[in-house]
Amino acid sequence: MSYLILVRHGQSVWNLQKKFTGWVDVDLTENGKLEAKKAGELIKSNNIYIDLYYSSLQLRAKNTLNLIKEILKDTKVSNEIWQLNERHYGALTGLNKDEMKVKLGEDKVHQFRRSWDLRPDPLDKKNPYHPINIETYKKIPINQIPDTESLKDTYERVIEYYNSDIYNKLLDNKNILISAHGNSIRALCKFLFKLDNKKISMLEIPTGNPLLINLNSIQEITECTYLDKDRAKDLLIF
C-alpha cells in the first residue's frame, strides 16, 4: 500500500487579485503561507511519512512544499517538474476574472476556465508574461513551451509524466506528496478517479488542503479524504 497526497499551493498574490495566472511565476500571500503551514500540520498530525516530494517549477507550489517540509522537519530534496505546472491561460494571462465576466459574459469565462478542450487565444511571444520571457522556464526546450492550453493539453503532459515516473514509485510502495496547481491536480484527479468531462468541469480544488489517497498494490484507490474536512464539506465527493 502507498499514499499519494495532492496539495494545491496556498493562496497566491494573483489568486487574491482574481487574475488568470497560468505560468506567471507569482508567490504566496501571507494567508497562502499560513495555508501551506496548516497543510504541513495536518500531514504531521496524521503521522504520514513522505518518501518523495514533487512540485511544479512555479514559486507558489515550490514555496508551499518548502513550508510543508519545514513543519515536517524533512530535508529531502524535492523533484521540481515543469510538467506539473499550472495550465497556460494564453491571452487571458494577467487579466482580471471579474472584468472578463463583464466583458465576455459569465458563461464564456466559465467555458475558458472549466471546459475540457477549449483553448483561449494564444499569448503573444513578445508579451512579458509569456513563459519564454520568464527566467524560471529557461531550461525547458522552447518547442515544449505552450502559447496557450486547454485542460486536455494540461492533462496530457501531467499524465504522461505521472505514468513515466510517479506511477512506478507508487508501485514500489513509496509515499508521495505533490504540490501543484488547480488544473494540474484536476488532471491527476480525472485520471486517478476516472472522472468524465462533465464531472471534471465541476471539480473544485481548494488551496492548501491535502487530499490523501490510499492506493493498494495494483494502484487501485481504496480510500481518499481531504485532511481539512471542514473546508472540504462542499467539494465534489469522489
Closest to 79 measured CA to CA, from 99, 98, 62, 97 = 62
Paired residues of 191 in beta bridges: none
Q: Specify whether 86 is catalytic.
A: yes
Is residue 179 within 8 Å of residue 81, measured between CB atoms?
no
Q: Specify whether 88 is catalytic.
A: no
Buried b (16+ CB within 10 A) or exposed e, 98-121: eebeeeeeeeebeebbbeeeebbe
Secondary structure of residue 170 in the 3-state scheme? helix
CA dihedral angle for residue 34, residue 45, residue 163, residue 12, rounded to 10 degrees: 0
- The CA distance from 187 to 152, in Å, is 8
45: part of which helix (H) or strand (E)? helix 30-45
Out of 86, 88, 130, 149, which one is annotated catalytic?
Answer: 86
- The CA distance from 55 to 50, in Å, is 14
- The CA distance from 116 to 33, in Å, is 31
Secondary structure of residue 207 in the 3-state scheme? strand
- The CA distance from 41 to 28, in Å, is 18
Active-site residue list: 9, 86
